[in-house]
Structures are given as structure tokens and as C-alpha cells.
Amino acid sequence: MNQSNKFLIGIAGGSGSGKTTFLKTLLNHFRPDEVALVSQDNYYKPSTSQEADHNGVLNFDLPTSIDRDHFYKDMVKLSEDSSIEFLEYNFNNPEWIPKKMTIDPAPIIIMEGLFVFHYDEIRTRLDYKVYIDVHHEERLNRRINRDANERGYPEKDVRYQWANHVLPAEEKYLNPYIPECDLIIDNTQHFQDGLKTLVHKMENFLGR
């Protein structure tokens, strides 16, 4: 449990569950100085440090793919009212020049990503855990469309990663922690009900 005067929230969900859209909508309800969002995506290790599977394909869906120590230390810094700096993740796109990002401390800190519950040092400090749920077939369709449109990945590559990396990682590193979550949001159609619950919880902490 968090011992600071901050409210630490963990938000996780499988690939294609709509975390990015949910978080953007959530942050629209608050001022920038009220919420600090830390995304796991910005802590990927370089491709040269990633593990390959039995076919030689790099697997970015392992806990070791993230700079875990940096991710955790940045959460601690924000909890202690210090700003953090890092380079945004460019999804291994050489044409995407990453920008330097700065996040200032805020009363509410959101740790977002697939492994925020699996990393013990983060999970045990969280005050509130949120899981965003969508059926895996719907998530696969979303990922195929996203990766084709935004990242130029062929569908066969997306399906390979899904079957060999994504689903096994979720089953091992995310699903076991779902029962202990404080809020489970079904985002198959929309997330408005769950969003309302979380916004209310955060507003209460801020004394609104």
C-alpha cells in the first residue's frame, strides 16, 4: 500500500482493450496538475536487448522487455514530488524521432501498462487497481487494424505475435491479478459506466 500523500492508480488491460482512448478521456476530466500518467510503453528496452522466441522473432510481451527498475523509480520520484524525464517510445520506427518527455508530480499518479500488477514493487504500492476488459477476438481485430494503419505491420505478423507472444503474456502476467482489481471495466461497447466510477473515485480524493 502507498504510504505517501498521493493516490496511486494502476490501470491494465490486454492489447487492444482501449487503454489509450480510455486514458485520454479520463484525463479530460482533470487539470494537468491533478494527474500524472506514467505509461509502461515509454520504458521499453532497445531492440538489441529484447529476447527472441524459438523462431528468432523479438518478443516485446515479456516483463523483461521493460526497464523495470526505471519504471519503478520514476513512480517513486513522482510520489516524492520530483519530476521525471524520459524519451517517448517510438515503436522501433526509425522515421519517428522520439521526443523528450517531462512529467511533473501531481496528487494522483496513474501507472499504466500490461505489467503494472505483475511487478510486485509497483502493485504493492497501488491504492486502486483497474482492469479494462474486452473479449480477445475483438481485441485482435482492433490490433490488426491499428498496427496496419499506424505502424504498417502485415496482418500475418500481427497474428503471429498475437498467438505466440501477446496471449501467452496476458495469461501468465496479467490474468492472475484480475480478481484483486478494485474496478473491472467492460469496454466491448463503451467504457462510460466504468469511467464515471473512476472519475468519481478520483474526484473524492481531490476533495471535490
Q: For residue 66, what is the DSSP state?
A: B
Please state the rounded mean pLDDT for residues 67-76. Answer: 97
User: Would you call 197 exposed, middle or buried from its count of C-beta atoms within 10 A (0-12, 13-18, 19+)?
Assistant: middle
Q: Which helix (H) or strand (E) segment is 160 a member of?
A: helix 155-161
Please state the rounded mean pLDDT for residues 7-29. Answer: 95
| 126-179: pLDDT as tens digits | 999 999 999 888 999 999 988 877 777 889 999 999 999 999 999 999 999 999
Alpha carbon 42 to chain centroid, angstroms: 10
| 26-35: pLDDT as tens digits | 999 999 999 9
User: Between 37 and 95, where is the model more confident?
Assistant: 37
Beta strand pairing call for 108-112 and 128-133: unpaired
| 103-140: pLDDT as tens digits | 999 999 999 999 999 999 999 999 999 999 998 889 99
pLDDT at position 73 over 90: yes
